[in-house]
A and B are shown apart, each in its own frame.
Chain A
Amino acid sequence: MKLSSPPFRRTKNHDLPGWEFILPSLVLLSLIGLPVVALVWRSVGINILSFAVSASAVNALKLSLLTSTISVIVSLITGTPLAYVQAHWRFRGKAVIDLLVDLPVVLPPSVAGIALLMAFGRGGILGGTLESIGITIPFTTTAVVMAQVFVSAPFLVRSARIGFSAIDHQLEEAATVEGASNWHIFRHIMLPLAGRALVTGIILCWTRALGEFGATLLFAGNLEGKTQTMPLAIYVGFEQGLGIALFLSLILLAVSLVLLTLVRRLER
């Protein structure tokens, strides 16, 4: 998605912002910047690599990579069609669906965790049915993935929806005249043209899934190698010794920075 050039430019005689702009900005920048710098600074003092090989750190890393990747794939397979439907068709109840898809973005993750338990927990609405066919979801890696999809898929759907909406309708009409089916238009015109927005969505979705904490803790619990993802290991490790927590925090910080840079590149 290409944005048009800025609507206004600074005139020559107002080249520099005054202190009334700079000072408040500095307050906010230091609030965000100092903790990030401090995290790196403190890690330098500790022999961080000794924690890199610790079993719990490795387990958390592996589990986070596995679950977040599956979450992105699930979000992509289910979220792209949904975004396409939202962008291209008008129907009754569309406003409700739009609202529902955006809800997890503003909903506190702990609320998401409780809600997931109420729906898919053993005592939840679907719990009895699932139990009768031998499926129990809470405290499993599946629960981790479900919590991640719940909170992260909306980022992909929103991005994809914007991408699909930005495509010129005339292209689609032309293709329809040529006799292309809905699926053909989607596959050969829409998907390639919305590619950039989709990749942006994938990255945002993956970042959010990697960082998921609250819903996972409530819905999936905390068990090393099975449900203890990196954010949970950071939380639990924090009280046992700063080392593991700092090491895992640094990794997540680095990954987040790289992904964010990628998103910036794509949006340009």
Chain B
Amino acid sequence: MDQGVNKPLVLLSLLMILVLGACTLAGSGIKVNPGAPSTAGVSLQPGTPASHLPAAKLTIFAAASLTDAFQAIGKEYETAHPGVVVDFSFAGSQILRTQLEQGATADVIAFADQKNMASLVSDGLVSADASHDFVTNQMVVILPPGNPGGLQSLIDLARPGLKLVLADASVPAGTYARQILEKMSNDPTFGADFSTRVMANIVSNETDVRQVVTKVELGEADAGIVYTSDLEASPDLLTIPIPRQYNVTAQYPIAILRSSPNPELAAEFVNYVTSSEGGSILSQWGFSPVR
């Protein structure tokens, strides 16, 4: 037969060897680092070492904007609780909510808005009194280094031809961004059609807020609207602040799921997140802890 047919097979076997090698490394207790989490919507921790089984595993579902802060908190928590392994799944809140509704198992859930939590409460997945807000966040306009779109102020967002990236309307950050544009449209300075004109500049509705950050960081878009906390992990971005009267305050709720396999550990994790230690990590990553 044709020699070309075997090429993919060779490649496949090479890949398999690589994967097997990685598994062996993980099995012998060497930690394999997952590749650049900022570009991926969902980032999972590497497998647990098989040589010494952990006492327990905690699974945390958290809004994409919490990625860096929660990874830092997870490390601290693991150090303080030897034998406990914390696994994270980061994605847009709406994706996590859907996964839980479709039967995914997790111990703790942290969303970037109230709507998704309310939906889990009404589905009976979270007790009505189990959820409470632990941080707040604000929005900001981000521009790539060098400002290729030449934006000087917020009003430039409506300039025709500008490439704007927002989170999809189903994503909390996308809803907040649209609320801000609506508020600005009510101000005569911007004009009643401001929101419509800005929305006409959207070139992509991303599935989580971190994808918006990535697209702007790469310079593919001229501007995006994201959380102020997102700036901590991306210091090269230029910003245009959104004044208080137009901005929104995102309230982040955290809760233990009713089906949590480890409710005690889950409670300890939530306590740690809401403690002063947890709060200082969250502040470092640009969130305002709720006291």
Docked CA distance A123–B221 (Å): 10
CA distance A238 to B95 in the complex (A): 8
Task: Specify the chain B residue showing the minimal Cβ separation from A232.
Answer: B207
B interface: dominant SS:
mixed
Q: Is B220's CB under 8 angstroms from A138's CB?
A: yes
B11→A123 contact, CB < 8 A: no
Q: Select one of B7, B39, B168 contacting A102, CB under 8 A.
A: B7
A227 to B219, CA, bound (A): 19
Contact A162 B2 (CB under 8 A): yes
Tell me whether B55 is interfacial, beta carbon within 8 Å: no
Q: Find B220's partner among A122, A166, A227 (CB 8 Å cutoff).
A: A122
| Residue in B94, B165, B220 whose CB lies within 8 Å of A239 | B94
Query: Which residues on B sit within 8 Å (CB–CB) of A102?
Result: 4, 7-8, 11
> Is A165 close to B, CB under 8 A?
yes
Interface of A is mostly: helix
Question: Chain B, 120-138, contact with A by CB distance < 8 Å: what is the 0/1 string?
Answer: 0000000000000000000
Residues of B within 8 A of A (CB): 1-5, 7-8, 11-12, 15, 39-40, 92, 94-95, 97-98, 144, 148, 163, 165, 168, 170, 202-207, 215, 218-221
Q: Which of A43-51, A61-69, A216-224, A256-264 contacts B (4 or more CB under 8 A)?
A: A216-224
**Chain A residues whose CB sits within 8 angstroms of the CB of B92 once the complex forms:** 239
| Bound form: Cα–Cα A103–B168 in Å | 32
User: Are B203 and A87 in contact, CB atoms less than 8 angstroms apart?
Assistant: no
> Are A139 and B204 interface neighbours, CB within 8 A?
yes
Q: A222 to B167, alpha carbons, bound, how many Å?
A: 10
Nearest Cβ on chain B to A236's Cβ, whole angstroms? 6
Report the nearest A residue to B93, measured CB to CB: A239
**A123 contacts B220, C-beta separation under 8 Å:** yes
CB <8 Å contact, A122 and B215:
no
Shortest CB distance A121–B (Å): 5
Known contacts A117-B220, A221-B203; 10 further A-B pairs (Cβ under 8 A): A102-B4, A102-B7, A102-B11, A103-B11, A106-B12, A122-B220, A136-B163, A223-B203, A227-B204, A240-B94
Report A-chain residues with C-beta under 8 Å of the C-beta of B219.
121-123
